[in-house]
């Protein structure tokens, strides 16, 4: 069986690869952490190529995350479209879609933790204390992430409105 050492030899390489792919070192570190946790929690009888196995695990986690995000966005858009259809105001509908697109682009520019805090608080209705517990952070840090996110959204949306 390949021990943890066989996998840990590839830690820096994994972060480097995913930093380039995701264009975010923080997201790459989060992904590497998740990959290592998954690999070490689910030991196999024999892993012939720990490097390849680790990279494939990271790739699978990333794909799962993208799929989850796509599903969430599709559900939000469906719910939003249903609300707008009831109003029968095409201008308001188009404006709302443009606003949602602007918010999505602005959120994509932020680090993963800022996005998580925003989504969990604003879309899923979690409290800052619940988010802090979920992320292993202090409530104060969660609040700082939210403030940073809201400032960024305000600046981004002010520029988009001009």
Specify whether the CB–CB gap between 153 and 103 falls below 8 A. Answer: yes
Count of CB atoms situated within 10 Å of the CB of 130: 15
Q: Is 136 left (phi over 0), alpha (psi -120 to 50) or beta?
A: left
Angle between helices 90-108 and 50-87 (to 10 degrees): 160
Percent of the chain with pLDDT over 90: 17
Q: What are phi and psi of 45, to 5 degrees?
A: -60, -50
Closest CA to 128 of 113, 112, 117: 117
- pLDDT of residue 1 exceeding 50, the answer is no
Summarize pLDDT for 40-89 with one digit per residue, the tens: 777 666 677 888 888 888 888 888 777 777 677 766 666 666 655 555 67
Q: How far apart are the first and last CA of the chain?
A: 60
How long a stretch of residues is the chain?
162
Non-local (6+) Cβ contacts of 50 within 8 A are 2, 6, 7, 9, 10
Q: How far is residue 121's CA from residue 71's CA, in Å, rounded to a whole number? A: 18
The reply to whether the predicted model has a pTM over 0.95 is no
Count of CB atoms situated within 10 Å of the CB of 97: 14
pLDDT recorded at residue 162? 52
Q: What is the mean pLDDT of the chain?
A: 80
């Amino acid at each position: 069986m390949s021990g943890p050492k066989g996998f840990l030899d590839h830690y820096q390489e994994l972060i480097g690869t995913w930093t380039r792919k995701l264009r975010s070192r923080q997201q790459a570190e989060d992904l590497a952490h998740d990959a290592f946790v998954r690999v070490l929690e689910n030991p196999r009888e024999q892993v012939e190529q720990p490097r390849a196995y680790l990279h494939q695990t990271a790739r699978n986690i990333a794909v799962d995350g993208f799929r989850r995000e796509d599903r969430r966005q599709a559900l939000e858009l469906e719910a939003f479209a249903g609300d707008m259809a009831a109003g029968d105001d095409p201008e308001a509908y188009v404006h709302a879609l443009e606003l949602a697109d602007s918010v999505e682009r602005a959120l994509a520019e932020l680090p993963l933790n800022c996005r998580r805090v925003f989504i969990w608080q604003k879309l899923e209705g979690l409290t800052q204390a619940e988010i802090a517990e979920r992320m292993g952070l202090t409530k104060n840090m969660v609040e700082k992430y939210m403030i940073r996110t809201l400032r960024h959204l305000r600046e981004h949306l002010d520029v988009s409105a001009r």
